[in-house]
Every structure is written in C-alpha cells, then in structure tokens.
C-alpha cells in the first residue's frame, strides 16, 4: 500500500499548513505528519520519529494511515 501524500509537493503542503492552521504556545515541528504506526509517526519527507507528546501529534481516528 503506498504511503499517503507519496506524490505530494512537500513544500506546497507546508505552505498550505502555514497559511491555514492556527498555532498556539510553542512552535510546532515544521514537518507534516502523514502516517502513524503505534507510537511512531512519519512525516511527508519520510522522517520517522516517536510521538512522546502523549499522542498529541497523531491524526484523528478515522483517518486512513
């Protein structure tokens, strides 16, 4: 199964996020999360990291991984 956003323009995704999402408190991690696997998340650029934020970085349930 191909990863979501595999063919997306990452620069455009980031620009759209910066233009349309609200921010509050401290700065957000600049990359867009495109999939999750347990406590790990993967960004649009392919970077994989552990979500130690108490699952605040994960996508809402019902969104296909």
Tens digit of each residue's pLDDT (9 = 90 or more) over 19-42: 888 877 777 767 888 888 888 888
Domain contains 23: yes
The answer on pLDDT for 49 being more than 70 is yes
65 located within any domain: no
In this predicted structure, the answer to whether residue 59 has a pLDDT above a threshold of 70 is no
CB 59 within 8 A of CB 30: no
CB 51 within 8 A of CB 57: yes
How many structural domains comprise the chain? 1
User: What residues make up the domain containing 48?
Assistant: 1-60
pLDDT tops 70 at residue 55: no
């Amino acid at each position: 199964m191909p990863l979501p956003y595999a063919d997306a323009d990452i620069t455009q995704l980031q620009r759209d996020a910066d233009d349309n999402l609200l921010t509050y408190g401290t700065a957000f991690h600049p990359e867009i999360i495109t999939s999750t696997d347990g406590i790990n998340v993967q960004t649009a650029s392919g970077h994989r990291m552990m979500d130690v934020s108490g699952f605040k970085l994960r996508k809402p349930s019902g969104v296909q991984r």
